[in-house]
Structure 1
């Protein structure tokens, strides 16, 4: 009988926060605390005769993204765009390039037509940093391009 060996370290060094690079408005973002993005397609079973589905109906596509940045990063982004007093919400749509590097391999996702909708901050006693939550929209995500 053949002996089966289970490989404990099947994936090698895993991608983690320290392997992520994000480029926004032409600059690599360093003061980022959190990045999230996802996309969905509405799908539901379609029924006809009998109790089992006879097909799947497909609806709209939706993509979401969100950021949390340090105040210093927000200022650096504002400084990188021309003109003082410009609101980040007034900037034209741009793409965010997110690169994951591990084991000598690069995996790139592109968040398309990113726009900032709302930016806010809060600070309280004994905070060591000032984080700013950035609400945004995007049209779609290109995965692993």
Structure 2
């Protein structure tokens, strides 16, 4: 007998944090608690005669990435570097982010990612040590 699948909403099972996989330096990152990335193209309305804009002008493109890692993840990445190297010394790398959505996998690639700032902050009562690392990237390829 065939099993009947009933959708509980228009989209079925929704994507969440547990459906995200991030790969950097050839390994899936496990010690991550936050990930954000976006890109933007400057656009503005061009005015001419009359009240209405006569067109749209386009400017520069910019992409951003940020993440928060556990101290153990930062150490694991640093252990792959030669002694005395900092994360900021690592060559640019593409970061692959995959989202499992129902039975499909969607993938974004964040290109030429480099660490720009690494720091630590910990206070009494913390059960873990998290680090917000600052990164830079050149561009993002969406849904490749």
- Structure 2 partner of 1:21: 21
- Structure 1 partner of 2:31: 31
Structure 1: distance between partners of 2:18 and 2:112: 25
Structure 1: distance between partners of 2:112 and 2:28: 17
Structure 2: distance between partners of 1:110 and 1:86: 26
Structure 2: distance between partners of 1:104 and 1:79: 35
Matched, 1:118 2:122: no
1:8 deviation in Å?
5.6
RMSD of aligned C-alpha atoms? 1.1
- Structure 2 partner of 1:129: 128
- Structure 1 partner of 2:4: none
Q: Is there any run of 5+ residues in structure 1 with no aligned partner, and where? A: 1-6
Q: Is there any run of 5+ residues in structure 2 with no aligned partner, and where? A: 1-6
Structure 1: distance between partners of 2:132 and 2:84: 19
- Structure 1 partner of 2:53: 53
- Structure 2 partner of 1:3: none
1:85 deviation in Å?
2.5
Structure 2: distance between partners of 1:10 and 1:52: 39
1:102 deviation in Å?
2.1
Matched, 1:71 2:71: yes
Matched, 1:108 2:101: no
Structure 2: distance between partners of 1:95 and 1:49: 46
Q: Deviations over 1:9-33 (max 9, x none)?
A: 1100011000000001111100001
Greater displacement, 72-81 / 53-62: 72-81
Structure 1: distance between partners of 2:8 and 2:16: 19
- Structure 1 partner of 2:3: none
1:84 deviation in Å?
1.7
Structure 1: distance between partners of 2:133 and 2:66: 6
- Structure 1 partner of 2:86: 87
TM-score (norm 1): 0.92
Partner SS, residue 18 of structure 1: helix
